[in-house]
Chain A
Amino acid sequence: MRSITKTFPGVKALQDVTLEVSRGEIHAICGENGAGKSTLMKVLSGVYPHGTYDGDIVFENEVVEFSDIRHSESKGIVIIHQELALSPFLSIAENIFLNNEIKGMFGLIDWNKANLEASKLLARVGLRENPTTKIRDIGVGKQQLVEIAKALSKRVKLLILDEPTAALNDDDSDHLLDLILHLKEQGITSIIISHKLNEIKKIADTVTVIRDGKTIETIAKIDVTEERIIKDMVGRDLEHRYPDHTPHIGDEILRVENWTAHHPQDSSRVMVDSVNLNVRRGEIVGIAGLMGAGRTEFAMSLFGRTYGSRISGKVFKDGAEIQTRSVAEAIDNGIAYATEDRKVYGLNLIEDIKRNVSMASLGKLSRLGLVNDNEEYKVADEYRVSLNIKAPSVLAKTGKLSGGNQQKVVLSKWIYSDPDVLILDEPTRGIDVGAKYEIYTIINRLASEGKGIIVISSELPELLGICDRIYALSEGRITGELPVEEATPEALLKLMTMETPR
């Protein structure tokens, strides 16, 4: 791939990226969340067709212009996405040959042959399952193998795996990595996107690091060290993008002990593993973790058990144990949670600012079950002014606001619920730089009012810029805690990628 540039409205996702993968090697791509790894792979596999990006893709010495995925697959490039693209109610064989069916007489599907072929493919990936088993009846690890079998059925030459082990346990991960090495012996080239540095060291022949949509460097296997990769991944300067913040830290306001939550469907999978943490008055505490580390899962299971099953652990506020079994109970106990995805979980986009601001605190605005409209308007308007929400009036629909202003509406809603502890999940995702600064200022102001703030973010510079103390989370466990003075991106990334033995 030569000089690939891909822009989305308002963002340059990839800038002049060049990636060279030799035949028969395993090439790892590293980078922080949002660095552009997945975008690059989508360009390569034709998800973003030719014409929507600049630059050339050269495959087997010829320039290729893919119009869609089928086109790239016909050349032997297959991508396996992080979210598996299998249909749960179809059998393994049906999934393998989906849209690539083995036809017999009269153009009808020859199921006997399909199942036979499927079992051959399954043998190649080392999966001992009947091809007629339904996908939902096998685990994620095996589903991953089915995806690879599907790729093999398409006579794959270049296999792209987007974080293949993110959802797998250690055994399944090992099996998958062995399989990738095995495929290499059969002459199949792989590109693997991964966060797990030890994995990369184990299997990759070459590593390319991408940051902010640019290639930083390509390292050969003998030169690969974790330190070097981490440095490449984060090495950006922390400009003055964060308002000054002098903490006035008081007594402990929230303490969570041994908080454990399991996956909502698969209740044997631990998603949040004995988390202990505390927040003091006036303190901004960060939670750093890679995607899938259990950050949001922790916050949502804590906030009214809106995520997970078999949740256990204790929560103390001001030293006394409290319960947070429902959202209403959590709010009553002075906890607020501003969600990661404000459009899906945070706002009623078809309603106006006023009604969104009042949503979590209607009790305060009502008497005998009737809401005082005028008071509601007044409250919302006060927040519009004090948080500088750019809208003609509080009667504007939130769906029409920009991301930054929407986030301010979400913050207004939770500030008005008058919490003692605010959990902010990715408070600045998808927001432009100016609005980010304003959000940070609001967070500082809330802290100086004596509230305890927990900020969850996948942007390390942001955590380092605004927090007083940072916890690192990896695979559902707290792997370390650093005061901001001692925290560096390198140190945090090391903790965030630390794998804990189970």
Chain B
Amino acid sequence: MTDTSTKPVRVAKGGAPSWVGAIISDLGKNGIFLALIAVVVLFSILTNGILLRPQNISNLIVQNGYILILAIGMVIVIVAGHIDLSVGSVAAFIGAVSGVFAVKMELPWWIAIILSLLIGALVGAWQGFWIAYVGIPAFIVTLAGMLIFRGLALVVLGNSNIGSFPEEYRALGNGFLTNVFGEFPVDPLTMGIAVLAIVGLIVQQVRTRAGRRSYGQDVEPLGWFVAKIVLVSAGVLAFAYALATFKGIPITLIILAVLVMIYGIVTNRSVFGRHVYAIGGNRHAAELSGVKTRQVDFLIFVNMGFLAALAGLVFTARLNLAGPKAGDGFELEAISAAFIGGAAVQGGVGTIGGAIIGGLIIGVLNNGMSILGIGIEWQQAVKGLVLLFAVAFDVFNKRRAGSSR
């Protein structure tokens, strides 16, 4: 802090932004990100580096893609103060339905996908109707939905599995974007996309910063701003390099990236997103401020149904099989991801980024423990403890912040 007295630092209304202050405040906000890094480092050491092998990194993404997709929808549901227990069953149901479309009826793969997603949205509309317009708690409606759609999945499958999906469909879960320019040890397309992503990130960050400055708001010190971008870029490059030396970018990752971008904007910047947070923070106040709470609740569940359907497609594509046990327990993993990622049980708090990181923590735990040969029984117990401690840590943090008023 000594350099603040010697250098002319821009002192603003909100307290002087110093290097140290900015870093501490960022660390406080991104504690969950540090937890992910800690878990990754821990398992890299325990597994002698197997965790970070290119093939394993690629696997991590495709094995957890569908949970992450569900976590995106789930965090929105939770922020609004609801819960959705039905997503695993809905994913199974849609997987089965898509099997009927793509395999039994032999519809073109893209029609099968679009129809399946539409049915997913309809399922969400059904549940949203009961929750938003009839006023039955989401817990009950989606508990019923869990049974209903599991049952319907079995009905559609008719006591058998549906397999041998068309190749384009399978790409959702198994495909890679690679070798467009021919075979190289390091895929140039993957690296190119990574560089583009970094450029996009820098442009976006610089524009945000410039925008804030032009409105006279405080911005973090330039040094830390640049340092953060450099750190993130290095991370992206390392990650892309790992993918590029294996099979390239998984299609699942592309889907995820697009979803994270869209839903990041929806939750952060859209009027709809604001309404979701307002409802979760204080439903009465939101209603008395003119927010159409029922409509928002309804749309949240339509969206959740859509994303559950997408997760179902990705999962089915990965296994190349629509089976009766598909999606079993997905809802719990998605809910855990959202809560580990900092969503509040009472609603009003939670971010897409947090949910994704929460999902990745669960993924790394699963993956790392499997590599170590730890049995499924201990994996379950460890995941349960991590969820409990993550939320307890959050509660503890809030209590400390609350008492310092």
Contacts and interface: CB of A to CB of B under 8 A. Distances in A.
Given A362-B271, A369-B272, A328 B292 contact: yes
A326 B289 CA distance: 10
A332 to B, nearest CB: 8
Chain A CB within 10 A, most for which of B270, B288, B291: B288
Interface stretch (A21-29, A134-142, A252-260, A371-379): A371-379
Given A327-B287, A328-B290, A337-B288, A366 B281 contact: no
Interface residues of A, number: 38
Interface residues of B, number: 33
Interface string B272-306: 10110110011011111111100000000000000
Given A374-B211, A378-B215, A348 B270 contact: no
A413 B288 contact: no
A371 B274 contact: yes
Interface in A78-122: none
B299 to A, nearest CB: 12
Contacts of B215: 374-375, 377-378
B14 interface: yes
B13 interface: yes
Interface string B194-222: 00000000000000000110111110000
B341 interface: no
A413 B292 CA distance: 17
Interface string A340-359: 00001111111100010011
A331 interface: yes
Interface string A313-333: 000000000000011101100
Interface in A373-432: 373-375, 377-378, 392-393, 395, 400, 413
A327 B290 contact: yes
A243 interface: no
A369 B218 CA distance: 26
Contacts of B290: 304, 326-328, 330-331, 360
Contacts of A395: 14
B348 interface: yes
B217 A370 contact: no
B214 to A, nearest CB: 8
Given A348-B348, A349-B281, A400 B405 contact: yes
B210 to A, nearest CB: 10
Chain B CB within 10 A, most for which of A348, A355, A358, A395: A348
B287 A363 contact: no
B272 A350 contact: no
Nearest to A345: B284
A349 B282 contact: yes
Contacts of B282: 344-345, 347-349
A362 B405 CA distance: 30
Interface in B5-51: 13-15
B360 interface: no
B405 A359 contact: no
Given A347-B282, A349-B282, A359 B270 contact: no
Nearest to B13: A393
Nearest to A351: B281
A479 interface: no
Chain A CB within 10 A, most for which of B13, B271, B274, B289: B289
A57 B274 CA distance: 54
B174 to A, nearest CB: 35
Interface in A459-500: none
A45 interface: no
Contacts of B218: 393
B288 A345 contact: yes
Contact of B277 (A331, A351, A370, A377): A351
A339 interface: yes
B399 interface: no
B52 interface: no
B265 interface: yes
A350 B269 CA distance: 18
A370 B265 contact: yes
Contact of A346 (B15, B275, B285): B285
B349 interface: yes
18 contacts: A304-B288, A306-B287, A327-B288, A328-B290, A344-B282, A345-B282, A348-B281, A348-B282, A355-B278, A358-B274, A359-B278, A360-B289, A362-B274, A370-B265, A371-B271, A373-B269, A377-B217, A393-B14
Given A346-B288, A373-B211, 7 more contacts: A327-B288, A344-B282, A347-B282, A369-B271, A370-B269, A374-B217, A377-B217
Q: Report the 4 A-B pairs with minimum CB-CB distance, sorted nearest first.
A: A348-B281, A393-B14, A360-B289, A374-B215
